[in-house]
Amino acid sequence: MRPSIIAIALLLLSPLAALASEEGPPLQDANIDLRDKASLQRGAKYFTNYCMGCHSLQYMRWNRMAEDIGIPDDELRTNLIFGDAKPGDLMTNALRPDDGVKWFGTAVPDLTLVTRWRTPDWVYTYLKSFYQDPTRPYGVNNLIFPKVGMPHALVNLQGLQEPVYAESHGVEAGAEPHIIGVKLTQPGSLSEEEYDNMVRDLTNFLTYVGEPIKLQRRTLGLYVLLFLGLMFIPAYFMKKEFWKDVH
């Protein structure tokens, strides 16, 4: 019996071991805070101004987002909603899927659930990891998403980065050089700290969009655990009383 249990445990743990063994650049800590409404508001502004021309949030409505993160209706209509969209509409754009395939080689993904699929740390690191690559159609590549199809939409803010290569000792002839990082060579309109804060706000907003009720769910979970803990006390003494004459 014991060998069978061990075999089943190893089988269940093997996918986790495979994921842990995958090589890749380390992800940076996004350090987001879903309670920071000012950060969420800035993230919403950055998304609508720099991302929404191509990417949509098709599972989120404008007015739901505005109410949750504290954006007044007049500011929502004036500063965030463009075109003929109404506050009750979903946060979609006019980009047709066929155009996305034509321009970028693949359909442009909706980003409503991107942080649940990739994790906030991945999105944060991704937005900081673009570098110049003349072999790519838009002249850029990404450290954690090699051969990415999109341009660097925030390049004017971050600036230009170049890849950092590992030492070539022991590398076989003809092998591609191994990129271990990126370095800023031409600053953009924001300092490195300002750009980091901007990307953090944008990641914070996308994390909220992926699960708008996350904070409420956590709070409800604490109340449920507290209720169960308190109910355990009378349930324990009731059990003792009911079973005291059972031998």
Instruction: Look at residues 44, 35, 39, 36 and name the one whose alpha carbon lies nearest to residue 62.
Output: 44
Residue 247 within a domain: no
Residue 19 within a domain: no
Please say whether the beta carbons of 162 and 183 come within 8 A: yes
Asked whether the predicted pLDDT for residue 222 surpasses 90, the reply is no
User: 100-149 pLDDT, tens per residue?
Assistant: 888 888 889 999 999 999 999 999 999 999 999 999 999 999 999 999 99
Residue 10 has a pLDDT of 43
- CB neighbours (10 Å) of residue 8? 10
Residue 19 or 168, more confident: 168
Mean pLDDT of 58-69: 96
Q: Per-residue confidence at 175, pLDDT binned at 50, 70, 90?
A: low
CATH number for the domain harbouring residue 145? 1.10.760.10
Burial (Cβ within 10 Å: 0-12, 13-18, ≥19) of residue 229 = exposed
CA–CA dist 90, 63 (Å, integer): 9
Residue 50 within a domain: yes
Percentage with pLDDT > 90 across the chain: 61
Number of domains in the chain: 1
Residue 75 within a domain: yes
Residue 10 within a domain: no
User: 36-45 pLDDT, tens per residue?
Assistant: 999 999 999 9
How many angstroms from the chain centroid is the CA of residue 52? 16
Residue 221 has a pLDDT of 85
Domain assignment of residue 223, given as a range:
24-167+178-240
In b/e form, how buried is each residue of 106-125, taking b as 16+ CB within 10 angstroms?
A: eebebbbebbeebebbbbbb
Q: Per-residue confidence at 16, pLDDT binned at 50, 70, 90?
A: very low
User: 24-40 pLDDT, tens per residue?
Assistant: 689 999 999 999 999 99
Residue 247 has a pLDDT of 61
CB-facing half-sphere around the CA of 106: CA atoms within 13 A: 10
CA–CA dist 41, 195 (Å, integer): 16
pTM of the model: 0.81
The tokens 């098709």 sit on which residue? 58
- CB neighbours (10 Å) of residue 157? 17
Residue 17 within a domain: no
Residue 211 within a domain: yes
Residue 84 within a domain: yes
Mean pLDDT of 177-206: 95
